[in-house]
Structure formats: structure tokens, C-alpha cells
Amino acid sequence: MLWAGLACVLAVVAAGFADPAPPRVAPAPEGPPPAAAPNPDATFHRAPKPLAPGAVVGDWTSFLGPDGTLVSPETKLLRDLPSGGPPLVWEVSKGEGYAAPAVAGDRLVLFHRVGDEAVIDCLRATDGRRFWRHATPTDYTDRYGYNGGPRCSPVFAGGRIFTFGADGLLQALDLATGAVLWRREILREFGLAQNFFGVGATPLVEGSNLVVNVGAPGGPCVAAFDGATGRMTWGAGTAWGPGYSTPVAATIHGRRLVLVFAGGESVPPVGGLLAVDAADGRVAFEFPWRGRRRESVNAAPPVVLGDRVFISECYGAGGVMLRVDPSGGCRPVWTNESFGLHFMAPVVKDGRLYGVDGHGPGDAYLVCVDAADGREIWRVKPRWKETVATPEGPREITAGTIRCSMLAADGRALCLGELGHLLWVDLDPSGYRELSRAWLFAAQQTWTPPVVSRGLLYVCQNERDPFRGTGRRLLCYDLRGE
């Protein structure tokens, strides 16, 4: 990517888009909500420890956590991981999908696919008992052979739960009862074809709106829907299709902006960062950034550092740091083609970016980059040996973090490896340092970020463990420290 080709397009006029199909709204049911009932799919193992005195805890209401940065405010967590993992509190069998759960209070919502239905389960966060279940038929088939479950995580807001299926069904449900309040068929309504891997960008709750990277031909690229009614409140952008990056919101130079890293299937491949005013959808600026390969996507979420925004993809362009000007435009500060993030969000600590560079299992490196100038500080490919039981006897295999997910918590980073390993890692510019490690299960496609809420850790096992025989599960671990 040549510097001469880097351009921030400043825009000051919001495009006018009509709502193609305003939905009908159903009133929330009256009467007492259902109580938590025994769940035939769940197994309860043990009660968690009491929270440590003075522990800070909170909810995890959306994909990127409470402040949209994959940073957990929780403290006094279990610091030394037993080799088999923290104590298992409960587990529940789950269907296909890559969506992380969302947790608010005593309620956890799991969005997954069971057979030919997209299922929303509302469970009690401490024991897996079920409050309600809602199922909708789905016929989504992945063109690349990945599973057919949802990619977008559920989102809590205003007593509602929002889900966005791989087939483009956007729904708002009453959290207390599971009743559908409104729904929209985004692909049909906006004239979209199926993207590479279906719909995959988790919506963003911003104020009273639900912001979605729609990516409609000719626009809108991004649209906001009123959370109470489902009606489109604004649309913005005309050039780019839907990516797989969750939008983020930030206040920069006193202006509240929604930042959408768009770009999915198109010929030629196009996409980039679209910044719009959160209140009315007025476009602040556009910055084209996309790999040249047709089969490329923009998937990692933008990262905001003051008046700068970092975006990255792994198909050739790599990463770029932008500075947002007080006038509303932007300009590149630095680029780094060797810091190309696939779908994993980086963690920011003390002026450095820590993330996974690489497209596939064979070229996935943990990298530390200076956020000021893009200079690489260190690069490592964590590897170790594991012994597994097979019908022919014990066998030694090589394992590693590979395309891992990280979240910052309690002064360190919690890392979930692609093959089911859980690690505490010290994020330090002096080098990679593993603090403790456990192997929860031996399953591929462990791409769903872990969730921490009230000292409990929730991990999705997305594929079968061939050595232990366990199937797809959501597992709840006790991560509470003494």
C-alpha cells in the first residue's frame, strides 16, 4: 500500500435514505416473567467461591465488553490457573456458531444454531438454568464449509436483547420474557446478497439506537435503528459493503462518532473506515483501507486512542494509525504492513498495541507495536508440547496460542488460544511472558473471545474435542480469586 494512495475523504453532508420496511412493533407482555427452570441441556458442577472483599465486578453486555475495548474492569481474579483449568461451575451443550454470550445481572444470553433453527437461550448466569428459549427457522449455509451458526453476539440494552443472525435476521426481544418486539430481514429489505461468511458484524448500541453495518448496494453502508421500534433513524455511506468488524463509538474532539470498518465481498475489493456522527449519521470522513485480494475482508474492530484510530486487516494492507483532525477529517500517522490483524481485536496498554498478526494458523504471531510510530517491539509465536490420549496410546503434539483472543483484566491479559488453551499473559514491552496456562479442551475454531462477568469466566467450545469426546459447549468457570 503506497503512501500516495492514502487519502481521507472529508464529507459534511448526510445522505438521505428511506427506511425500506419499517417493522411492526409488538408490546411487551404483561404479567410476571418466567422463573429460571431446570435446563435439560445444562450440567451444574459446583457453586463458585464468594467474591473477594473489595472485588470490582460488572456486566458484559456486548461483544467488546462494557466500554467497547475488550477491557474488563474486574479485579481480584484467580491468578494461577490449574493445569486443567479453573473450577468448572456449569456447562451447557450448544449448537453451531461463533457468537460470544452476553451477561447482565443474573441473565446470560446465548445465541446459537440447533438443527435448522437459530436459538436464543436466556440462562441464569450462575447455574445455567433457563428463563426462556426463542427459536427461529434458518436455512443459512456457509459457502466455505464453516458451521452455519450465528457470528454476531447478542447485545443488551434498555431491557431488550438484540440478535443479528448469519442469515440477516435482526431481532429485538424482551429480556424478561423472550417475546419478540420487532424484527427485520436486513438482506431482503436492503437488497443484499449473502456475504462471504454470512452476516458477521455485531451491532453497536449507541444511545437509543442500534447501529448496523448494513452494506447495501448504493448505501446505506451503515444504518441506525431505533431500539424501541426498529425503525431506521439514519443511514450513511454509499460505497462499501458489509464487513465483519463490530462498529465502535467514541468522542473525539468533542464530537460523538460511530466508526465502522466496512468491506466484504466485492469486485474489486473495496472498503475502509467510515466515521459518522452518532446523532444524525452525517459522514465525518471516509478512509479507504482494504487488501487487494478478492477473498479478503475487514474484520478487526477499530481501536481508538485519544484523537487517533487504528485499523488493520491481514490480506495485504496491514495496519494504519489515523489522526482525526479537529475539522473532522483524518490523516495517516503511520502504516505497518507486518501488523495485519485478522478478526482478533488488539489490546492497548501503556502506549503499545498487542495483537495477533497473520491470516492463518501457520503464520499467527503475537506482536507488540509502539502505538506512537508503528515500530515493532517484539514478535513471538508461542509454542509448547502437549501429550494427548489416543486409541494407539499417548501421543505428543505441538500446540500454541495461534489466532488467539485477548482481553485485558486485573492488570494482565487473559488469552484464549485457538485450540482451547487459557493463559494469563503479561503484556510488557520487554517481551512475551506467560504467567500461567491451562488446557480447557482440545477443539479447533476456538475463535470466540472469552467473557468475564462477576468473577465468572464464560468460554465457548465451538467444535468437538476428539481426544476427550466432548461436543460443542458453553462453559462457565470460577475465576474468582481469594
**Separation of alpha carbons 371 and 376, rounded Å:** 9
* CB-CB neighbours of 218 under 10 Å: 11
56-478 is classed in which CATH architecture? 8 Propeller (2.140)
CB count within 10 Å of CB 327 equals 11
Residue 360: what pLDDT?
Answer: 86
Domain boundaries, the chain: 56-478
DSSP 338-390: T--BSSPPPEEETTEEEEEE-SSGGG-EEEEEETTT--EEEEE--EEEEEEEE
Q: Convert the pLDDT of each residue in 217-246 to its tens digit.
A: 999 999 999 999 999 999 999 999 999 999
pTM of the model: 0.96
Q: How confident is the model at residue 11 (pLDDT cuts 50, 70, 90)?
A: very low
Residues 6+ away with beta carbon under 8 Å from 1: 289, 316, 317, 318, 320, 335, 337
Residue-wise pLDDT for 282-316, tens only, equals 999 999 999 999 999 999 999 999 999 999 999 99
pLDDT at 427: 92
pLDDT digit string (tens) for 336-379? Answer: 999 999 999 999 999 999 999 998 888 999 999 999 999 999 99
* pLDDT tens digits along 45-96: 999 999 999 999 999 999 999 999 999 999 999 999 999 999 999 999 999 9
Q: What is the mean pLDDT of the chain?
A: 95
pLDDT tens by residue, 118-164: 999 999 999 999 999 999 999 999 999 999 999 999 999 999 999 99
